[in-house]
Amino acid sequence: MRETMICPTPPMGWNSWNTFYDKINESLIRETADAIVESGLKDAGYEYLIIDDCWSMKERDAQGNLVPDPEKFPGGIKAAADYVHEKGLKFGIYSCCGTRTCAGYPGSFEHEFQDAAQFAEWGVDYLKYDNCSRPRSQGTEMLYRRMSMALRSTGRDIVLAACQWGTENVHRWIRSTGAHTFRSTVDIQDSWNSIETIVSSQLELQAFGSADCFNDMDMLVVGMNGGGFNPETKMGGCTEAEYQTHFALWAMMNSPLIIGCDVRELSKEAGNILMNADLIAINQDSECRSAYQVDVYESPDSFILVKPLSNNEYAVGYFNFGDSKANVTLNFWDMGLSSAAGYGMDVYDCLDHQSIGIKREYMTVQIPAHGCRIVRMKPKGMS
């Protein structure tokens, strides 16, 4: 009997798809593992290194087994997994609930138990499980149940990351399949418009994610800067402020934090965003509470998210999706703190990493276009 959850907090790691597309190989995986450790990302909490689509041959072998591409992975997948494990990281791989993956490689449909056993033998810790090329007569709920059972039957703890795209009201039933995360969005692109679209589609679904089954808003594009080999993902890139807002929203909304840029060439600016310990702590808070939205009156393009944290604290995110700066006010009674209660809020800034002091009744901040301000608040008696 499992005594602890596999995913008590949102998974953190790196995935090859956004930047490298089909240009993956054993050397890249080894170099990326090295970079995750040497850059400080591992110490910041990023532990999964995940190979996405295009790692196998186009056909199974005579016994029906998946075959790693010998040109990309001459040592096999287990050798890559072993190297990742030697670095103190966990190893992830990709498959699909259909007959073919999204890039046209063999999927796991009707091979679930065979593939799960092979993944466990290789030392896989995380399976991204996509939703392409399934028979039209087959709904995804049963297919995710089937792979979940197959993974559990191996006796190895393997995260099941259901990349389901938000069809068939996935948020209503996915937890019952045994999946640990669920994609409920279209694929992200390296653009502000994509980030804004994804967030807007998920604000009403916050209550459906919780410990051991998190709403995955797709991989991070922080640090891509319009580059990479993936023609579907790379766009014009984002500004540093937009990348900061992107990361803050994923942290506040309990999304897995899966990096998509080339961490071997991580810029100082991207590293500062991705390794912000104060924002990571909000994402990884042990209570895993969902955030609620507070509307503001000063700007129709601005909103506030409030997330209850452990230790009687609250994470508060001020966000401005507008194209010009805006003043944004949070009235503390919208959090439940009456002005007659005799309490103020002790405020700490999570981007500047410093105390702001005590605020009473409300807090107004000016937010630049596409920007944010993230603070922690704790009620404090004023008598």
Q: Left (φ > 0), alpha (ψ -120 to 50) or beta: where does 261 sit?
A: beta
Order of strands across the sheet that contains 372-381: 292-295, 302-309, 313-320, 372-381, 343-349, 354-359
- Give me the pLDDT at residue 299, please: 86
Taking 50 as the threshold, does the pLDDT of residue 45 lie above it? yes
> How far apart (Å, rounded) are the C-alpha atoms in residues 104 and 113?
21
> How far apart (Å, rounded) are the C-alpha atoms in residues 331 and 363?
7
Beta bridge partners of 379: 345
What is the overall mean pLDDT for the chain? 96
pLDDT band at 383 (very low <50, low <70, confident <90, very high): low
Residue-wise pLDDT for 181-218, tens only, equals: 999 999 999 999 999 999 999 999 999 999 999 999 99
* Residue numbers annotated as active site: 130, 187
Instruction: Calculate mean pLDDT across residues 238-252.
Output: 98
Taking 70 as the threshold, does the pLDDT of residue 259 lie above it? yes
- Give me the pLDDT at residue 3, please: 59
Percent of the chain topping pLDDT 90: 95
Taking 70 as the threshold, does the pLDDT of residue 178 lie above it? yes
Q: Pick from 303, 298, 380: which is nearest to 337 by CA?
A: 380
Q: Pick from 235, 106, 139, 131: which is nearest to 183 by CA?
A: 131
What does residue 350 show for φ and ψ, rounded to 5 degrees? -85, -10
Instruction: Calculate mean pLDDT across residues 95-100.
Output: 98
* AA identity, residue 249: L
- Give me the pLDDT at residue 382, please: 81
Q: What is the DSSP string of 236-275?
A: S---HHHHHHHHHHHHHTT--EEE-S-GGG--HHHHHHHT
Taking 50 as the threshold, does the pLDDT of residue 1 lie above it? no
User: Which residues 6+ apart lie within 8 Å of 101 measured at CB?
Assistant: 53, 54, 94, 95, 107, 130, 132, 133
Q: Pick from 367, 361, 372, 307: which is nearest to 332 by CA?
A: 361
pTM value surpassing 0.95: yes
Q: Measuring CA to CA, how many Å separate 254 from each of 12, 182, 199, 200, 278? A: 11, 12, 12, 15, 14
Token output for 362? 């409300």
pLDDT band at 34 (very low <50, low <70, confident <90, very high): very high
Q: Which residues of 232-253 are buried (b: 16+ CB within 10 A; e: fewer)?
A: ebbbebbeebbbbbbbbbbbbb
> How far apart (Å, rounded) are the C-alpha atoms in residues 247 and 198?
13
- Give me the pLDDT at residue 4, please: 82
> How far apart (Å, rounded) are the C-alpha atoms in residues 351 and 379?
20
pLDDT band at 137 (very low <50, low <70, confident <90, very high): confident
